Amino acid sequence: MSDALRIARGPFGRVALLDMDRPLVRHAHPHCHVLLKVEGADTQFQVRDGTAPLTDENAVLINAWEPHAYHHYSGQPKTVILALYIQPHWLAHFRPNWMASNAPDFFDRNAGAITPEIRRKTDLLAATMVYAPEETGTHEKLLGQLMIAVIEQFTAWRGLPHSVRSLAGRMTMDHRIRKAVRRIQSAPGEVDDMTALARDVGLSRAHFFRLFETSIGVSPRVFLNVQRIERAVEQVVESDATFASIGESLGFSVPAHFSRFFHDHAGSSPSAFRKVTHLAARI
């Protein structure tokens, strides 16, 4: 069974060291997402309509709101993956224009050959998370070094927009879609009927789905699931609430359905996720 070996969270976002032997459903993230193999079998992700190989020499690069899934085939050995979910505000401390890391074209490809420097920094961060889980400051420092190497290798970062005006111009959307987005973000556990949501914001179902995906890059259902899993991760890590109550607050009436949803999106059971995230606090 796939499980989390270590989780690090902070102003940078989230870093997960995952031991994977089962697929992940098609999903997305609100921030740029980098996947690096640490050890085990070569594997692959489906990103939009293409296959992105994850190997010792190759990273998978996923833009914010870019739909993707993990394909782990039956009988294939496990793969240890370092998964980075990086907040744009944190990256902006290195270069102001790296705030554009949540743009849909930050990475111009979904896979690319890593450098020896990226290989070394990946292995060092993974090893430090395992052997020194309490060294949160060191994790953040090593992550910063790794992300600088990744961005310099895989993006045309010197050409990214520097001004707030340029960034704002890339992020406009229809006011009815903004209303739907706010509704989902404010109470993801209370939204389920997308036809009713479309009607509430003044659109037909077909027009709503078409306009939503054009504006955000994913369907309303995928967007809802993103809000659910991000809220679930926060509550699993930062509260002592039971998983049943967390699931109920996010619209899952059956605890097993919430556990399966969490595993299918985060690559780990909620209990393992909570355990390894709290490891540093107990040491």
Burial class (CB within 10 angstroms; exposed 0-12, middle 13-18, buried 19+) of 262: buried
Asked whether residue 158 falls in the same domain as residue 252, the answer is: no
Asked whether residue 9 falls in the same domain as residue 83, the answer is: yes
Average pLDDT of the chain? 91
Q: For the chain, what is the total number of helices (H) and then of strands (E)?
A: 12, 10
- Both tokens of 246, joined, read 């967390």
Q: In whole angstroms, how far apart are CA 281 and each of 49, 190, 194, 276?
A: 41, 33, 41, 10
Q: Which helix (H) or strand (E) holds 44?
A: strand 43-47
Q: Order the strands of the 68-71 sheet from edge to edge.
A: 24-27, 68-71, 43-47, 50-54
Residue type, 55: T
Determine the pLDDT at residue 282: 46
Asked whether residue 61 falls in the same domain as residue 190, the answer is: no
Phi, psi of 110 (to 5 degrees): -100, -5
Asked whether residue 29 falls in the same domain as residue 152, the answer is: yes
Determine the pLDDT at residue 33: 96
Asked whether residue 161 falls in the same domain as residue 181, the answer is: no
Q: How many domains does the chain have?
A: 2
Q: Is the pLDDT at 162 greater than 80, yes or no? A: no
- The CATH number linked to 189 is 1.10.10.60
Question: SS3 of 112, please?
Answer: strand
Which residues make beta-bridge pairs with 13? 10, 86
Which residues make beta-bridge pairs with 85? 14, 33
pLDDT, one tens digit per residue, over 172-184 is 788 999 999 999 9
Question: How does residue 283 score in pLDDT terms, banded at 50, 70 and 90?
Answer: very low
Asked whether residue 144 falls in the same domain as residue 217, the answer is: no
Asked whether residue 147 falls in the same domain as residue 7, the answer is: yes
pLDDT, one tens digit per residue, over 207-232 is 999 999 998 889 999 999 999 999 99
Asked whether residue 93 falls in the same domain as residue 61, the answer is: yes
pTM of the predicted model as reported, rounded to 2 decimal places:
0.91
- The CATH number linked to 109 is 2.60.120.10
Question: SS3 of 132, please?
Answer: coil
Of 34-48, 49-63, 96-110, 248-262, which gets the smallest average pLDDT? 96-110
Of 166, 188, 206, the one marking the end of a domain is 166
Asked whether residue 9 falls in the same domain as residue 149, the answer is: yes
Question: How does residue 160 score in pLDDT terms, banded at 50, 70 and 90?
Answer: low
Of 150, 166, 182, the one marking the end of a domain is 166
Of 137, 166, 195, the one marking the end of a domain is 166
Q: Cα(191)–Cα(225) distance, rounded to whole angstroms? A: 10
For residue 215, the enclosing domain spans 173-282
Asked whether residue 227 falls in the same domain as residue 123, the answer is: no
Asked whether residue 37 falls in the same domain as residue 126, the answer is: yes
End-to-end CA distance of the chain: 26
Asked whether residue 150 falls in the same domain as residue 47, the answer is: yes
Determine the pLDDT at residue 1: 61
Q: Cα(98)–Cα(88) distance, rounded to whole angstroms? A: 7
- Both tokens of 31, joined, read 């921030």
